[in-house]
């Protein structure tokens, strides 16, 4: 795949990073309890005292523009991210995504540490080994120790690659809550349930076939320790698909305490439908759910004080200024704004109140998880982030 990055894109991306830094600096004193310690290079006076033994990765899914979160006007949409979580973690202002901007392929690239090049809408596994496979193979971890909770049936194959040295025998279990809710609701999938069941927002008529699913509905509800009836009852109290994913993730945490959990949030991608207020609602909900996930970590004995949380978008959205730009709606131009994202990491051994400006890649997440948890992401193209180790 040709590198979509240009010199001009590099300049725009660096400017975005600087703008984020300036905005975060403006929060100092106004909203945060402590001043930010800003650094440009990974040089620390003291080594972290402890290191995470578990990790949860959350994609701030679908991506959003800085206008809606990292500006004086947009900050109101993400109060928990900026005021509660960010002061407790290390924030990277400059993540450059040089891969394909489709949600499944981009998320798969995050899990492998390699820019995957398959068709975003194909029911295929990643080509390179996933983080789940490195984790289970190197650390000899059982099946229930790693899970993916995903929003779309199109993510069904994300749990393992087809690499011959790895593969499904080492993969994560992938839970598609909407799929099971649809089965549990049987034919009654209209009206109020529709908000929970739409597969994706970019191609609303696309309905991928789920092949090779590991569980039946009965097995799924057994995994959650719920009856199908109770699962439906619970689900219908929730306002969105991301809430459903969080509900399932929390049950999995309580029941199996997986050491490696990947949660893909996606509500804000409703932006494709063109309704700004729903897009904003999605961002606000994602903000709240990220805080709920962090609070769940702190309240569960298996996780408290032992768990790193990574929060990052799969990618951003187009700028208005580029040719074909379309406001908040899409990510079709592949411009520098849609490729310049951010990441927040929190947990034991991770510096608090820290902002890092140097450019990093989404591919760095998997090698960093490897260095943290003790496995070797040997085919990943990224590098471990020393700022977190
Ligand atoms: Zn999208």
pLDDT of residue 344: 98
Would you say residue 275 lies in a domain?
yes
CA of residue 240 to ligand 1 center, whole Å: 16
CA of 104 to the centre of ligand 1 (A): 10
Q: How confident is the model over 71-96, as a mean pLDDT?
A: 95
- Compute the distance between CA of residue 277 and CA of residue 261 in angstroms, rounded to an integer: 30
Compute the distance from residue 115 Cα to the ligand 1 centre, in Å: 18
Question: 365 CA to middle of ligand 1, Å?
Answer: 21
User: Is the per-residue pLDDT at 207 higher than 60?
Assistant: no
Q: How far is the CA of 351 from the centre of ligand 1 (A)?
A: 32
pLDDT tens string 18-34:
999 999 988 864 334 34
329 — pLDDT class (breaks 50, 70, 90): confident
What pLDDT, on the 0 to 100 scale, is given for residue 213?
A: 56
Nearest to 337, CA basis, from 326, 324, 322: 322
Helix, strand, coil share (%) of the chain residues, nearest 5: 40, 10, 45
The answer to whether residue 344 sits within a structural domain is no
Distance 282 CA to ligand 1 centre (A): 13
Does the pLDDT value for residue 321 go beyond 50?
A: yes
Residue 176 Cα to ligand 1 midpoint, Å, equals 18
Q: Rounded to an integer, what distance in angstroms lies between the CA atom of residue 353 and that of residue 87?
A: 5
Q: pLDDT band at residue 306, thresholds of 50, 70 and 90?
A: very high
Residue 186 Cα to ligand 1 middle (Å): 28
Beta strand segments in the chain, E:
37-39, 54-59, 89-96, 146-149, 173-175, 260-264, 307-312, 340-346, 354-356
Query: 217 vs 110, 195, 235, 260, CA distance in Å?
Result: 29, 20, 14, 23
How sure is the predictor about 187, in pLDDT bands with cuts at 50, 70 and 90? low
Q: How far is the CA of 381 from the centre of ligand 1 (A)?
A: 25
Q: Ligand 1 centre from 268 Cα, in Å?
A: 9
Q: What percent of the chain has pLDDT over 70?
A: 87
**Enclosing domain of residue 175:** 44-62+98-331+362-388
Residue 75 lies in a domain: no
Among 21-30, 151-160, 369-378, name the one with the lowest average pLDDT: 21-30
How far away, in angstroms, is 307 Cα from ligand 1 center? 29
Q: What is the pLDDT of residue 44?
A: 45
By the 10 Å C-beta count (0-12 exposed, 13-18 middle, 19+ buried), 186 is classed as: exposed
Q: Ligand 1 mean position to 105 CA, how many Å?
A: 12
* 311 Cα to the center of ligand 1, angstroms: 18
Tell me the CA–centroid distance for residue 334 and ligand 1, in Å. 12
pLDDT of residue 210 exceeding 70: no
Neighbours of 387 (CB within 10 A): 20
Q: Determine the distance separating the centroid of ligand 1 and the alpha carbon of 139, expressed in angstroms.
A: 35
Average pLDDT over residues 225-242: 86
Structure confidence at residue 49 as a pLDDT band (50, 70, 90): low
Does any domain span residue 87?
Answer: no
- Residues 47-70: what's their mean pLDDT? 88
CA of 208 to the centre of ligand 1 (A): 16
By C-alpha distance, which of 328, 297, 323 is closest to 310? 297
CA 346 – ligand 1 centroid, Å: 26
| pTM attached to this predicted model | 0.92
| Of residues 273 and 93, more confidently modeled | 93
Question: Quick one: what percent of the chain has pLDDT higher than 90?
Answer: 63
Q: Is residue 216 part of a domain?
A: yes
Domain membership of residue 342 (yes or no) is: no
Asked if residue 89 belongs to a domain, the reply is: no
Question: From the CA of 136, how far away is ligand 1's center (Å)?
Answer: 31
Number of folded domains that form the chain: 1
CA of 266 to the centre of ligand 1 (A): 8
Does the structure show a pLDDT above 70 at 43?
no
Which residues make Cβ contacts (< 8 Å) with residue 65, sequence separation at least 6? 316, 317, 319, 328, 337
Q: Does 133 have pLDDT greater than 50? A: yes
Residue 119 burial by CB count (10 A; 0-12/13-18/19+): exposed, middle or buried?
exposed
Q: In this predicted structure, what is the pLDDT of residue 1?
A: 64
Q: What is the pLDDT of the chain when averaged over all its residues?
A: 87
Give the CATH number, domain containing residue 255: 3.40.720
Q: How far is the CA of 276 from the centre of ligand 1 (A)?
A: 14
Distance 64 CA to ligand 1 centre (A): 10
CA of 201 to the centre of ligand 1 (A): 7
The verdict on residue 381 lying in a domain is: yes
Q: Does 204 score more than 80 pLDDT?
A: no
User: Where residue 325 falls among pLDDT bands split at 50, 70, 90?
Assistant: low
For 27-41, b/e burial (b = at least 16 CB within 10 A) is: beeeebeeebebbee
The more confidently predicted of residues 36 and 148 is 148
């Amino acid at each position: 795949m040709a590198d979509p990055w240009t010199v001009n894109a590099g300049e725009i991306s660096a400017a975005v990073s600087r703008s984020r830094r300036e905005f975060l600096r403006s929060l100092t004193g106004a909203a945060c309890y402590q001043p930010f310690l800003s650094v440009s290079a990974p040089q620390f006076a003291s080594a972290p005292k402890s290191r995470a033994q578990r990790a949860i990765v959350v994609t701030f899914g679908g991506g959003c523009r800085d206008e809606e979160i990292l500006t004086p006007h947009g900050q109101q949409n993400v109060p928990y991210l900026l005021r509660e979580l960010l002061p407790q973690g290390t924030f990277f202002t400059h993540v450059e995504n040089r891969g394909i901007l489709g949600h499944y392929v981009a998320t798969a690239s995050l899990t492998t540490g390699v820019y995957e090049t398959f068709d975003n809408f194909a029911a295929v596994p990643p080509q390179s080994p996933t983080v789940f496979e490195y984790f289970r193979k190197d650390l000899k971890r059982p099946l229930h120790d790693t899970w993916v909770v995903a929003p779309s049936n199109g993510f069904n194959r994300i749990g393992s690659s087809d690499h011959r040295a790895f593969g499904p025998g080492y993969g994560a279990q992938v839970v598609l809550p909407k799929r099971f809710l649809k089965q549990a609701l049987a034919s009654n999938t209209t009206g109020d349930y529709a908000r929970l069941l739409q597969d994706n927002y970019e191609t609303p008529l696309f309905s991928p076939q789920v092949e090779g699913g590991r569980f039946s509905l009965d097995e799924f509800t057994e995994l959650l320790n719920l009856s199908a009836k109770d699962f439906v009852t619970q689900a219908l109290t929730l306002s969105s698909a991301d809430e459903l994913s969080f509900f399932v993730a929390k049950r999995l945490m309580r029941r199996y305490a997986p050491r490696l959990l990947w949660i893909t949030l996606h509500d804000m991608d409703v932006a494709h439908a063109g309704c700004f207020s729903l897009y904003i609602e999605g961002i606000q909900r994602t903000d709240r759910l990220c805080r709920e996930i962090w609070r769940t970590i702190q309240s569960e004995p298996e996780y408290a004080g032992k768990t790193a949380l990574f929060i990052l978008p799969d990618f951003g959205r187009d700028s208005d200024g580029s040719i074909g730009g379309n406001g908040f709606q899409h990510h079709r131009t592949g411009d520098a704004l849609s490729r310049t994202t951010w990441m927040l990491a929190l947990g034991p051994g991770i510096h608090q109140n820290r902002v890092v400006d140097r450019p990093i890649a989404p591919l760095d997440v998997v090698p960093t998880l490897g260095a943290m948890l003790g496995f070797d992401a040997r085919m990943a193209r990224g590098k471990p982030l020393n700022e977190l180790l």
